[in-house]
Structure 1
Amino acid sequence: MRLFFKLFALGSIAAALLALHMSEPTFNIESLKGARVLVTGASTGIGEQIAYHLAKAGAQIVITARRSNVLEQVVQKCMAMGAQKAAYIPADMSVASDPEKVVKFAEEHLGGLDYLVLNHIGPSPFAMWDGDAEHTRWLMQVNFLSYLQMAWKAIPTLEQSKGSIIVVSSLLGKMCTPFVGPYTATKFALNGFFGTMQHELAMKKSNVTVSICILGLIDTDSAMEKVRGYTNMTAYPASEAAWQIIKAGVTRQPEAFYPWYTYYTSLIKDWFPSYRNMVIQALYNYEP
């Protein structure tokens, strides 16, 4: 019986790999030339890399984050790399009025939107939860509710352009690991809400599509600082993650995964829950 389950698991993984390869849509970088894109969380990390890829493709870009001075530097680099247009607007997504203000600025500056890339996150400790419900409530506004606000505000102009909403999520929105309780809660919320939105937009025969991007550990400065000393898991390059996110939106994929293991982990995570939990806990260093 144990051999049967092992063979079944291997066969299922092989079938999933073949299906994923055969269903991968064609990506045409030329389609990004002149595209009007709003990218959040674009002062550093994945968002910054998304902006640079778009700039090289000749897109028109508006970026946002909290720090004006850093955003200005990113905009200058984007223009030097070939962006048709690049501008920034500083914003704090914990402030209820800022998400819609950013979308309005982008629409006015670019004359509409073709892509809305929701990538920003608020800082959260990498530690066991200490009962701080206020921080979790604040993080929900930044990592989740502001995404909803921006998406709803942008849908009318995206309807006109047959555009896409690109949601940068995480494998931690599909399975739980230690030390990231509040962050994980926000990512589960994102996956659930925007998965529901995919159904509703399709049922309304909307021109707008939603792509949810499931990421593993990425080598951004903030992520590496958090996990240092806790785990030796391999981190994958932010530039490649950014490229895969762009491809997902342009090809209108409902769900995209990077790096490779995130897809298979999502697929088999509930098959052997006891073994899964043992593996997860063994990946982290902790001394009570």
Structure 2
Amino acid sequence: MRRVIRKVFRNKVFDRKVVLITGGCAGIGRALAVRFAQGGARLVLLDLDQAALDGMAQHLADHHNAETLALRCDVADAQAVRAAVALAVERFGGIDVLVNNAGITHRSAFVETDLAVFERIMAVNYFGALHCTQAALPSIQARRGQIIVLSSLSGFAPMLYRSAYNASKHALHGLFESLRLELRDSGVNVMLVCPGFTATDIRKHALVGDGSVTPQPLPFLGKVYSPQDTAEAIYRGAVRRKRLLVLSNVNWGARLLARFCPRLFERVMVPRLSGLKPQAR
């Protein structure tokens, strides 16, 4: 295993390549920025907090000698995304890899969730990825690069009180699986990534039904991945230009159960995945 890790670490696939990461200052996005920097990439980071962006750019320069363009950008704003991508192309000459990582979540029952929450979740998780991909695609096609999309365990396993979040992840699969077909002869790779439960800050900014922000506990009751472990797996998948990367804390038996015995899965596994402790009898 150590030999494999060293081999991938030395891999020069991304040396001098331009990698744009949305939500690049925290969690998986931050860990990916560090990992691609270690691989020799030049980074474009989009996030909402300019101070965090500046600090991240300085960290990458000081510790990894990485060239970084850090831009404040709300991916839900199509015009802002186009401007940010144009700046990246002007600075570095193009984009080789787009990582659609930015996302938000919520915890609220469907009947208690305002329409505005559904709209905001879709604006960031789905339309954010759509905006970035539309803006960057001409450059990615010219460089025969790749698009990486952060989906979720929710892509194949429903969870309670996450209807808007789950819907946004299913929408990503529909969009990018279709796009992959359209790009199959272009040399562009599209990789969908379905991480399991990962210890990130996304739940600290979770929405509730009325749209306010309320920190939520990690729902999963089992093993939780670190952002660094998830980023390493994504990096290896990118090196190999994989189509689908499932990094789930839920074992294959549970996934088969979800597909072929959905009612049993919903009764046995969904409460655990949703962080609901078994009721005493």
Is 1:116 equivalent to 2:116 in the alignment? no
Post-superposition shift, 1:34?
0.9
Q: Identify the match of residue 128 of structure 1 among 81, 105, 109.
A: 109
Q: CA 1:208–1:263 in structure 2 vs 1: closer, same or farther (change >3 Å)?
A: farther
Q: Is the 8 A contact 1:60 1:83 kept in 2?
A: no
> Which residue identity lines up with residue 58 of structure 2 in the other structure?
Q
TM-score by length of 2: 0.85
Report SS of the residue matched to 1:88: strand
- Flag the structure with higher helix content: 1
Computed over aligned residues only, the root mean square deviation of the Cα atoms, in angstroms, reads 2.1
Q: Is the 8 A contact 1:155 1:208 kept in 2?
A: no
Report SS of the residue matched to 1:212: strand
Q: Is the 8 A contact 1:158 1:207 kept in 2?
A: no
Distance 1:263 1:76 in 2: 41
Post-superposition shift, 1:173?
1.8
Is 1:201 equivalent to 2:191 in the alignment? no
> Which residue identity lines up with residue 245 of structure 2 in the other structure?
A
TM-score by length of 1: 0.83
Q: Is the 8 A contact 2:176 2:190 kept in 1?
A: yes
Distance 2:46 2:86 in 1: 12
Distance 1:153 1:94 in 2: 13
Is 1:269 equivalent to 2:258 in the alignment? yes
Report SS of the residue matched to 1:31: coil
Spell out, residue by residue over 1:78-119, the C-alpha distance to the aligned partner (whole angstroms, 9 max, x if none). Answer: 112224411200011232312222222221121111101110
Is 1:163 equivalent to 2:142 in the alignment? no
Q: Identify the match of residue 103 of structure 1 among 85, 104, 108.
A: 85
Q: Identify the match of residue 167 of structure 2 among 185, 193, 204.
A: 185
Q: CA 1:73–1:281 in structure 2 vs 1: closer, same or farther (change >3 Å)?
A: same
Alignment of 1:1-288 (within 5 A): 27=8, 29-122=11-104, 124-129=105-110, 130-202=112-184, 205-223=185-203, 226-228=216-218, 230-259=219-248, 261=250, 265-283=254-272, 284-285=275-276
Q: How many residues align?
A: 258
Distance 1:215 1:249 in 2: 14
Q: CA 1:43–1:263 in structure 2 vs 1: closer, same or farther (change >3 Å)?
A: farther
> Which residue identity lines up with residue 218 of structure 1 in the other structure?
T
Distance 1:29 1:263 in 2: 30
> Which residue identity lines up with residue 156 of structure 1 in the other structure?
P
277-286 or 33-42, larger mean C-alpha shift:
277-286
Q: Which runs of 5+ in 2 are unaligned?
A: 1-6, 205-214
Spell out, residue by residue over 1:152-175, the C-alpha distance to the aligned partner (whole angstroms, 9 max, x if none). Answer: 221211112110001011010222
- Percent of aligned positions with the same letter in both sequences? 24
